[in-house]
Structure 1
């Protein structure tokens, strides 16, 4: 015998019927969702920026260290060292075999160029999966916010119609 199925109109367990909420409750939920969406959007932008920096690191390794090996230039290659995103100073590559990798919180680890590239590519892939999950959450929260906005609009319209009907009946 198949298990009993619930009708499609039944809400999932733990959910609340939006139409049963009062106007202040809907406004509070809408405000909270707006705040959450703002935070999630900001986090998304920060993760994209971090991913971009890791891609820059891979490019720097490929162009600066690996690229100079392929060109067959001398062991002390001239390079531009980034101090900020827009300020570079001239430098010389002391060792093409090893690079320092920022592993976070001010710690650096010496790695080969290949291992450093693998490290940064793993970081990029990890951030990509986090970004995908975050995008799903943002979409869900956005649809919830639209649902609350629609319910709030309906409540305000129905309250406006009720109060205007009461005023018309009392004023006649």
Structure 2
């Protein structure tokens, strides 16, 4: 199989209906995978934003000494009291913990910004894949119509 120079495509109108169907299936699988990745990245970004907000609003002098719920797992909380709002440990993801100070804010902000860049790039790829899928579907539809016309005139 000869390789084509990068950036050159093939004329999809010259492909058989079976080949177009296979390419369509491949595009649909890629779109499903990319959409799932997009959803997971968006969820991670929301989680980091909520973490930032929680630190900025929830770990302040106003809550010192007041009852709070302390997470032990994702779904298990126990009552507690925040004794010192300046000395808390924050989970910044993937098992890394940082004391609450500007470095913590910087790490979380950086993660939110990095995810925004990745989401924007992924969104562009998703759009390109959707456009490609629509083009393949159009050509496939035309081939089905023309094969139906050819068989009825024979």
Which category of TM-score, normalised to the shorter sequence, fits these structures? 0.7 to 0.9
- Conserved? CA contact 2:28–2:133, under 8 Å: yes
Match for residue 60 of structure 1 among 54, 60, 69? 54
1:50 maps to what in 2? 44
- Conserved? CA contact 2:70–2:79, under 8 Å: yes
Q: Does 1:25 align with 2:14?
A: no
Cα deviation, 1:49-96, whole Å, max 9, x if unaligned, reads: 101110111111112223xx2x3x6x5443222456665432222432
- Conserved? CA contact 1:80–1:90, under 8 Å: yes
TM-score between both structures, scaled by the size of structure 1: 0.77
Q: Does 1:93 align with 2:87?
A: no
Rg (Cα) greater in structure = 1
1:145 maps to what in 2? 133
1:5 maps to what in 2? none
Extract unaligned runs of 5+ from structure 2: 1-5
Q: Does 1:156 align with 2:144?
A: yes
Query: Number of aligned pairs?
Result: 149
- Conserved? CA contact 1:64–1:79, under 8 Å: no
- Conserved? CA contact 2:98–2:104, under 8 Å: no
For residue 131 of structure 1, report the CA deviation from its aligned partner: 0.5
1:109 maps to what in 2? 98
Cα deviation, 1:28-63, whole Å, max 9, x if unaligned, reads: 000000011011111111111101110111111112
- Conserved? CA contact 1:33–1:145, under 8 Å: yes
Cα RMSD (Å): 2.2
TM-score between both structures, scaled by the size of structure 2: 0.85
Measured in 2, the distance between the counterparts of 1:45 and 1:27 equals: 27
Match for residue 128 of structure 1 among 111, 116, 123? 116
1:8 maps to what in 2? none
Measured in 2, the distance between the counterparts of 1:115 and 1:95 equals: 18
